[in-house]
Amino acid sequence: MEEYTGKAIFRGIAIGKVCFYEKGEQMVKRGRIENAEEEIARYERAREKAVQELGALYDKALKEVGEVNAAIFEVHAMMLDDDDYNDSVKNIITSQKVNAEYAVAATGDNFSKMFSGMEDDYFRARAADVKDISERVVSILTNRDRTGYVGDEPVIIVAEDLAPSETVQMDKSKLLAFVTEHGSSNSHTAILARTMNNPALIGIPIKKEWNGKLAVVDGYTGTFLVDPDQETLAQMEAKLQADQESARLLLQLKGKETVTPDGKKIRLYANIGSVADVAGALSNDAEGIGLFRSEFLYLEKSDYPTEEEQFQVYRQVAELMAGRKVIIRTLDIGADKQVDYFNLDKEENPALGFRAIRICLTRPEIFKTQLRALFRASAYGNIGIMFPMIISVQEVLKIKEIVAGVKKELDEQGMKYGDVELGIMIETPAAVMMSDELAKEVDFFSIGTNDLTQYTLAMDRQNASLESMYDPHHPAVLRMIRMVIENGHKENCWVGICGELGADTTLTKEFLEMGIDELSVSPSCVLGLRKVIRETKAGTGTAV
């Protein structure tokens, strides 16, 4: 048995034969031509055919993986229309008197190198795309087949790397998993793998000799086993069965409405911390994102993320959620989430200290950068913004003033943005007590029960020795939630819960009776909670 560990980019277990997928990399021969005009015409015909093929691929992907994920083929078609790309091909044909396939391959290489040298992740990811379109045109010029046939029985695809067009062309019913040596978790191929619901690993040093051998992919641990021994195989089969069992529950509830037997509809959203987490939200059929903890973006960096970097991330999430609500929380740094480059002073009581909105309002340059990125991304989906750790109406008024300034600036620069709902987190007792007035200023409240519990009970949520006394079901917390919902509804402000308590199904009945409008939970809790909501009457609880 051979065992390897890579990075799992989508969870799940797969057991089956390996299909070594050969890239179809094309050795392009350089040939001398006499008539450059004829060669350019030959290139134009191949280019047009490639655009037609991409149109057909778009239609196929649209049916199988949805509009947002199919969009990559539109991007490819647009790349083939790009003047710089076409001028480069034609210039190589004319100036070097070479055949079209050589000119296309050389252009593809040049552009790909240029993109992969760029700092921006988005452009680096385009390197694979430009190679992909060039290979498509070369295939047409050389009459080679690129249909992605992987055989008749379901297989684990093992490849050095996979281009999005290769992935989507494969017959989905014949795919068990993807294992690649290269590739990144943010590439479109990874996004497609997740959307196709196949376990996928990257970073596995692949071998051609595995072709046809039995293998196991564990998308929970990142493990890849070739020729597993009997004992390991039996263990993995048991794991697969358990996985299939929960998937059955998942399947039954996917696509079903989150509605109580007496007709109250609940928005059942998911909490995420990165673009990669959207896969879990989608595969668990979350109806939106109720909390995107944007501070993770700052935590994984060694310096402030730029407006552009943030914009790309927020836009990707908005696009992946394809019109469903995406609520992004502004930076919640401080307390347990410390970032060196913020150079914050050491504090006696960090949980009660300089954190979250307090930092943003004191250092507006950081706040404005994030708001600009968020508003720009709102042109690509249905974004809502919420602000953490609010204690007063004055803070909200100040935030609204800064937001108005950011929108004015974007207007002046001719930058688009969408209609953005603004909300606040209710996670301090002060916000609870002021919720009647706060509700007049915002579109929604999202109750952060994790912090609300610690501040209400005056118990550090990080302190393990308080574990036995720490009671999130404390009546004080539940009364506060009720109060917030009542005050919110009086002002037509919808109310959700995004703290961990939202997923506690022993409280679902109570929340429904209180009139909760939204529950935002970890992706893996979505379907279990949907089941409970569909079985629980809301009684008098009314929604906004």
CB of 531 closer than 8 Å to CB of 249: yes
Of 499, 515, 523, 541, the one binding ligand PEP (CB under 6 A) is: 499
CA distances from 41 to 78, 92, 96, 399, 428 (A): 19, 14, 16, 58, 69
**Coil, helix or strand at residue 226:** strand
Q: Which among 521, 513, 360 has a CA at the least distance from the CA of 449?
A: 521
CA 533 from chain centre, in angstroms, equals: 26
Q: With contacts defined by CB under 5 A, name the span among 174-182, 358-366, 400-408, 423-431 that binds Mg ion.
A: 423-431
| Total of chain residues touching ligand PEP, rule CB under 6 A | 10
**Coil, helix or strand at residue 489:** helix
Site membership for ligand PEP, residue 502 (CB under 6 A): no
293 assigned to a ligand binding site: yes
Least Å distance, CB 427 to Mg ion, is 5
Site membership for Mg ion, residue 472 (CB under 5 A): no
CB of 328 closer than 8 Å to CB of 292: yes
- In the residue annotation, 498 being an active-site residue is answered as yes
Site membership for ligand PEP, residue 319 (CB under 6 A): no
376 assigned to a ligand binding site: no
Q: With contacts defined by CB under 5 A, name the span among 9-17, 259-267, 269-277, 445-453 that binds Mg ion.
A: 445-453
**Residue 293 binding result from ligand PEP, Mg ion, none, given CB thresholds of 5 to 8 Å by partner type:** ligand PEP
Q: What gap in Å lies between CA 335 and CA 352, rounded to an integer?
A: 8
β-pair partners for 224 = 4, 217
CA distances from 123 to 129, 186, 228, 369, 375 (A): 10, 12, 40, 21, 21
Q: With contacts defined by CB under 5 A, name the span among 238-246, 338-346, 427-435, 529-537 that binds Mg ion.
A: 427-435
Residue of 19, 360, 493, 498 marked catalytic: 498
From residue 331 to residue 350, what is the string marking binding to ligand PEP with x (rule CB under 6 A)? Answer: -x------------------
SS percent in the chain: helix, strand, coil, step 5: 50, 15, 35
Site membership for ligand PEP, residue 449 (CB under 6 A): yes
Site membership for ligand PEP, residue 448 (CB under 6 A): yes
Site membership for Mg ion, residue 295 (CB under 5 A): no
H/E segment holding residue 231: helix 230-253
Site membership for ligand PEP, residue 280 (CB under 6 A): no
Least Å distance, CB 10 to ligand PEP, is 25
Site membership for Mg ion, residue 451 (CB under 5 A): yes
Residue 76 vs 293, nearer CB to ligand PEP: 293
**Residue 498 binding result from Mg ion, ligand PEP, none, given CB thresholds of 5 to 8 Å by partner type:** ligand PEP
Of 448, 488, 496, 541, the one binding Mg ion (CB under 5 A) is: 448
101 assigned to a ligand binding site: no
211 assigned to a ligand binding site: no
First to last CA, the chain: 58
What string of H, E and C letters represents the secondary structure of 104-170?
A: HHHHHHHHHHHHHCCCCHHHHHHHHHHHHHHHHHHHHHCCCCCCCCCCCCCEEEEECCCCHHHHHHC
Of 451, 504, 517, 518, the one binding ligand PEP (CB under 6 A) is: 451
Q: Which residues contact 282 (CB under 8 A, 6 or more apart)?
A: 194, 195, 320, 321
Residue 355 vs 509, nearer CB to Mg ion: 355
Least Å distance, CB 352 to ligand PEP, is 14
**Strand extents, DSSP E, 219-324:** 223-226, 267-272, 288-293
Least Å distance, CB 327 to ligand PEP, is 11
Residue of 188, 360, 489, 525 marked catalytic: 188
Of 274, 306, 450, 524, the one binding ligand PEP (CB under 6 A) is: 450
Site membership for Mg ion, residue 218 (CB under 5 A): no
345 assigned to a ligand binding site: no
Site membership for ligand PEP, residue 431 (CB under 6 A): no
**Coil, helix or strand at residue 478:** helix
Q: What gap in Å lies between CA 466 and CA 427, rounded to an integer?
A: 20
Greatest alpha-carbon pair distance for the chain in Å reads 87
**Coil, helix or strand at residue 518:** strand
Q: What are phi and psi of 178, to 5 degrees?
A: -120, 135
Least Å distance, CB 448 to ligand PEP, is 3
Site membership for ligand PEP, residue 498 (CB under 6 A): yes
Residue 46 vs 503, nearer CB to Mg ion: 503
Residue 253 vs 525, nearer CB to ligand PEP: 525
451 assigned to a ligand binding site: yes
β-pair partners for 310 = none
Q: What is the contact surface with ligand PEP in residues (CB under 6 A)? A: 291, 293, 332, 427, 448-451, 498-499
Catalytic residues: 188, 498
Q: What is the contact surface with Mg ion in residues (CB under 5 A)? A: 427, 448, 451
Binding residues for Mg(2+): 427, 451
Binding residues for phosphoenolpyruvate: 293, 329, 450-451, 461
